[in-house]
Amino acid sequence: MNTNNKIKKYIPVILIIPIVVIRGFTTIYPILITFVNSLYNIKVLSGIHEFIGFKNYIDVFKDDKIISSIKFTVIFVIVSMLFHVLLGTVLALILNMKFRGRRFLRTIVLIPWAMPAVVIGMAAKWGFNNDYGLINDLIRRFVPDFQFNWLINTGSARGAVISMDLWKDLPFFAILILSGLQFISEDVYEAAKVDGANSVQIFFKITLPLIIKNILTLCIPFTLWRLTSFDLVYAMTSGGPGEDTSLIAYRIAMESFTNLNIGYASTLAIMLFVLMALFSWVNIRFMNKYND
């Protein structure tokens, strides 16, 4: 009997071991290998493979292009997530209203999210073109002589990238918030109305407190997806003008597959990993603070 109890005691551990091993090979091992590679000067074309310690890390902070990429990556994540939360909540509230055709609207609103980012990037590149783009064509109907190269100017190019990222993933973010709204009982709203609460009071006193955990939870994966975004920038601006819309993930891809500079790319990958950990930590702190 005692033997059976001891065996049962270790069954959960035995069942978890395969998952831990698999997770180790798919997550921990690649991170360690990437860190080791970051300590070397590895250039495939020239056949160089030499240990240089932390020189790659020092070079990164001396590289103006990389510093620009880091700055834009942080801006991209923060601005994009703010608009995802604000507009996503508004869209979710609209989709939660009772009106004819709302099921159809909930379906078609996901079309941008279902489209590949490369397709959206290529379409946006055409849409923002100065000569034959849709944006300038619409503006010229009111201002005939209007000329503006959206993807050549730094500010407008960054704004265009952020807006297309928002257009693609905002519907999915809104649908996930909507799923949280669906769990709020109508009786709660009816009771609030009986007590004389208006729409604004109902939102801030009832709706928002009940869905804030959903929103904060969604911010973690959506933030990580923003940090690893590559395909939209690649198809839309190729990091231009100059390196002004170049995200860290894009620079990693360029160093890895274009320049074949594996050591430097590994260094950037480790820095991206640290940045992801930092943003995740901030999100979790917000969640814990709210729970407390």
Helix (H) or strand (E) holding 48: strand 48-51
Handedness of CA 237, 243, 244, 250 (dihedral sign): positive
Distance CA 112, CA 88 (A): 14
pLDDT tens for each residue of 187-229: 888 888 888 888 888 888 888 888 888 888 888 888 889 898 8
What pLDDT, on the 0 to 100 scale, is given for residue 8?
Answer: 73
Distance CA 104, CA 148 (A): 37
Tokens of 29: 């091992």
- 148 φ, ψ (degrees, to nearest 5): -160, 125
Domains of the chain: 57-291 (1.10.3720.10)
Tell me the H-state helices in the chain.
2-23, 29-38, 55-62, 64-96, 102-108, 111-114, 117-127, 134-140, 154-181, 186-194, 199-202, 208-227, 231-236, 248-253, 262-291
What pLDDT, on the 0 to 100 scale, is given for residue 3?
Answer: 65
Tokens of 289: 């603070």
What pLDDT, on the 0 to 100 scale, is given for residue 21?
Answer: 85
What pLDDT, on the 0 to 100 scale, is given for residue 77?
Answer: 92
What pLDDT, on the 0 to 100 scale, is given for residue 160?
Answer: 93
**Which stretches of the chain drop beneath a pLDDT of 50?**
1
Tokens of 4: 């059976």
